Amino acid sequence: MDLLRKSARSRAKSCALTGPFWVAVLLASPAAAQLHPVAQTHRPSSAARAARRASESVDYGLNGDARNALTLADEAIEADRDVEWGYYDRGDALLAQRHYDDALAAFKAAEQHASGADPWGKSIAIWGQANALAEAARCAEASPIYARYAAFVSAYDPAAADMARVFEKKQCAPPTATSAALSALETGIDLEGSKNYQGALEFSARVIQAEPTRGRGYYLRADALLALKRYDEAVQAYRDAEQRSDAGDRQSKAVAIWGQANALKEAGRCDEASPIYKRYAAFVQSYDGEAAQMGLTYSQKTCVPIVRR
């Protein structure tokens, strides 16, 4: 669910975060703080076409349209099979659609095609591999790749290396919802990805019906309502998601708290959003200081109320 997931990197695209916001927060700096893309003063026409298609793929991906992002990434690869960005964007698009093995293969190809003079490109291709495995709950496979990323970037970006070592030690587990709920959840996520928010809202009802005591369906509902600018309903759905989060599932509860604050901010209701951002910061402080700091930063932001016509 690409919740709140648009982590920063130098070419203004996400680091393959279709996962929850806590991942997006943690990925804000890796591969972006000290490493930078190699400047190129001249490109052959095929490479230029590939670059345009890759850039367009990024735009579609950031707008939640994974299908068109994948099509454009494939066109970038067809235009120039020796440039890594088409493969990387293909990995991003596949990961957004939860095609984990295909995404992993694309990120591996991106690393293989990365120029030796471009450590930035190679670093995020390595990170993409680890992140795809983590998203698939294959932590035992992800851990050594996070370690490899840390070793690769340590000379350029010690903070990113430290972050990767934290991820190396994280545990994950396959989801345990009923198959009916999972099927509907996947469909709802796909609908959100294609901007069919009304369809995603309708599918969220199926998830809630299948597992009414769990938070995932409510979170899917909240995401769809927020996209539809139904702010009050979105806030309530995020609250429902928080209340139904498993006691030991800190990340889901954190995401639901952030969602409440974010929905209020989107509605221009900063006075109401600020204390919830602070509550988020207090909740995550013990295990994620960087996310806590971001919550405090957002608690101080101002926003403009929505003009209702």
Query: 143 and 200 share a domain?
Result: no
pLDDT computed for residue 109 by the predictor: 94
pTM score, whole prediction: 0.49
Residue 309 lies in a domain: no
**Do the domain assignments include residue 13?**
no
Report whether pLDDT(43) > 70.
no
The answer to whether residue 10 sits within a structural domain is: no
**Stretch 139-147: mean pLDDT, rounded?**
91
pLDDT digits over 93-106, tens only?
Answer: 998 888 889 999 99
Same domain, 55 and 155: yes
Residues 221 and 261 in one domain: yes
Residue-range definition of the domain harbouring residue 114: 21-169
Structure-model confidence comparison of residues 191 and 67, the more confident one = 67
Q: Which of 60-64, 96-100, 137-141, 217-221 has the lowest mean pLDDT?
A: 60-64
Q: Same structural domain for residues 161 and 26?
A: yes
Q: What is the pLDDT of residue 28?
A: 33
CATH for 231: 1.25.40.10
Choose the final residue of a domain: 118, 134, 169.
Answer: 169
- For residues 184 and 153, membership in a common domain is answered with no
Find all residues with CB under 8 Å of 308, minimum gap 6, and list them.
none
Domain co-membership, 164 together with 25: yes
Domain-ending residue, one of 118, 149, 169: 169
In terms of domains, do 152 and 51 share one? yes
Q: Residues 216-235: pLDDT tens digits? A: 789 888 888 988 889 999 99
**267 within a domain of the structure (yes/no):** yes
Is 292 a residue whose pLDDT tops 70?
yes
**Overall residue count recorded for the chain in this entry:** 309
Please indicate, yes or no, if residue 307 is contained in any of the structural domains: no
Instruction: Please give the tally of structural domains in the chain.
Output: 2
**Alpha-carbon dihedral 292, 294, 296, 299, rounded to 10 degrees:** -140
For residue 29, tell me if it sits in a domain: yes
What is the rounded distance in angstroms from the CA atom of residue 251 to the CA atom of residue 4? 13
5 in a structural domain: no
Do 78 and 213 lie in one domain? The reply is no
Domain boundary, last residue among 117, 145, 169: 169
Q: What is the pLDDT of residue 108?
A: 95
Are both 196 and 280 inside the same structural domain? yes
pLDDT value of residue 107 = 95
Q: What does the pLDDT read at residue 173?
A: 56
Based on the domain organization, do 160 and 199 belong to the same domain?
Answer: no
Given this model, what pLDDT does residue 230 score? 93
Examine the domain organization and report whether 131 and 211 are in the same domain. no
* 251 pLDDT above the threshold of 80: yes
Question: Which range in 59-68, 160-169, 228-237 is most confidently predicted, on average pLDDT?
Answer: 228-237
Tell whether 164 is covered by a domain: yes
190 plus 137 within the same structural domain: no
> Do the Cβ atoms of 159 and 33 come closer than 8 Å?
yes
